């Protein structure tokens, strides 16, 4: 029988309820339905006294989530979608994302559209939108310390109560650059509307094959966001004696010591989103972030007597 997955935010009662209802209704239609929580895709932390603490990229998902699965339905907010992408991308599983959260920038539909959307998808009436991901590895003394897939960004930043840090960054064949800042962000086009946007980086449409480097609170007027080809590997060397922190997709991460290397490349695995109509990125920017809204006309002046 064909397989469908349901990935849901088990902290939200409505997501748990809808997940159970979906399992029953889809099984009645002849599908094998497997449930997983967003927690399954949580990356985990690495600690100085327990440094190697990560799940290999291909082993994040539950065993039933494999290349035989036709699609997975995601119930949650953007955090659940990010977790679902880490579970689904290595197995080429497309995701129908349903917003049970707040902003829902990465979600396709709302709960009141779910029945209609599932009927449309089961009839094969949909498109697939592909989003690039970052593969990040932390290397210490030649050993892989931590690895993950990230849809939005990788951030290396100073710890609280420490001073500003220096980062030596090598992009492809180009000469290394030194940036003095509180941290640096390497983002995908999808991540350009997340942390990178708050740090002053530009918005990049999802179909552009680039990465973006955005310094966080840089100590130089010359340190600005940089957009470059995602065919270029990126390595960050902490050029400071302070311990730092590396975080993937705002989820979890790894302590970074002065001699560590944070290596990033475009992942061979892409996130795949089910779209019920042609993707229209500017519409999402307008609806979710207010970009490009028409200016409200100023009131006409009133001539006083």
38 known member of a binding site:
no
Q: Which of 78, 249, 260, 270 is catalytic?
A: 78
Cα atoms in the Cβ-side hemisphere of radius 13 Å centred on 295: 3
* DSSP helix/strand/coil, 78: helix
User: Is residue 197 part of an annotated ligand binding site?
Assistant: yes
> Residue 196, annotated ligand binder?
yes
Q: Is 78 tagged catalytic? A: yes
Q: Binding site annotation covers 220?
A: no
Q: Is 152 annotated as a binding residue?
A: yes
Q: What is the 3-state secondary structure (H, E, C) of 214-278?
A: EEECCCCCCCCCEEEECCCCEEEEECCCCCEEEEECCCEEEEECCCCEEEEEECCCCEEEEECCC
Does 31 count as an annotated binding residue? no
Q: Annotate 112-158 with DSSP letters as a single string.
A: GGHHHHHHHHHTT--EEEEE--EEEEEEETTEEEEEEEESSEEEEEE
The alpha carbon dihedral of 61, 66, 72, 78 has a sign of positive
| DSSP class of 33 | E
193 labeled binding residue: yes
Alpha carbon 253 to chain centroid distance? 14
Of 183, 226, 181, 189, nearest to 206 (Cα)?
Answer: 189
The span from the CA of 77 to the CA of 58, in Å, is 23
- Residue 214, marked binder: no
251 is in an annotated binding site: yes
The first and second tokens of residue 231, run together, are 């065919």
C-alpha span between 13 and 4 (Å, rounded): 21
Residue 44 CB neighbour total at 10 angstroms: 14
Q: How far is CA 217 from CA 190, 213, 237, 254, in A?
A: 22, 13, 18, 21
DSSP state of 205: -
Residues placed in the known binding site for NAD(+): 78-79, 152-153, 182, 193-198, 251
Residues placed in the known binding site: 78-79, 152-153, 182, 193-198, 251
As annotated, the active-site residues are 78
């Amino acid at each position: 029988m064909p397989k469908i997955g349901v990935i849901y935010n088990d902290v939200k009662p409505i997501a748990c309820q809808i997940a159970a209802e979906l399992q029953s209704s889809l099984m009645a239609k002849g599908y094998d339905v497997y449930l997983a929580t967003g927690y399954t895709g949580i990356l985990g932390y690495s600690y100085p006294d327990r440094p190697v603490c990560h799940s290999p990229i291909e082993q994040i998902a539950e065993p039933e989530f494999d290349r035989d699965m036709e699609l997975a339905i995601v119930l949650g907010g953007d955090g659940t979608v990010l977790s679902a992408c880490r579970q689904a991308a290595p197995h080429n599983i497309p995701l129908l994302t349903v917003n049970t959260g707040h902003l829902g920038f990465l979600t396709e539909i709302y709960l009141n559209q779910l029945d209609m959307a599932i009927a449309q998808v089961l009839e094969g009436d949909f498109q697939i939108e592909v989003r690039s991901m970052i593969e990040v590895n932390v290397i210490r003394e030649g050993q892989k310390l931590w690895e993950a897939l990230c849809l939005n960004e990788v951030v290396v930043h100073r710890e609280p109560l420490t001073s500003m840090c220096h980062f030596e960054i090598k992009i492809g064949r180009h000469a290394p650059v030194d940036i003095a800042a509180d941290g640096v962000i390497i983002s995908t086009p999808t991540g350009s509307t997340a942390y990178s946007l708050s740090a002053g980086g530009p918005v990049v449409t999802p179909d552009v094959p680039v990465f973006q480097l955005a310094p966080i609170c840089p100590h130089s007027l010359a340190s600005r966001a940089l957009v470059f080809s995602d065919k270029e590997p990126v390595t960050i060397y902490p050029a400071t004696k302070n311990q730092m922190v590396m975080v993937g997709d705002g989820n979890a991460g790894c302590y970074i010591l002065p001699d560590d290397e944070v290596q990033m490349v475009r992942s061979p695995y892409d996130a795949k989103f089910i779209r019920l109509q042609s993707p229209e990125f500017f519409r999402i920017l307008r609806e979710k972030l207010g970009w490009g809204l028409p200016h409200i006309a100023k009131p006409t002046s009133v001539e006083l007597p």
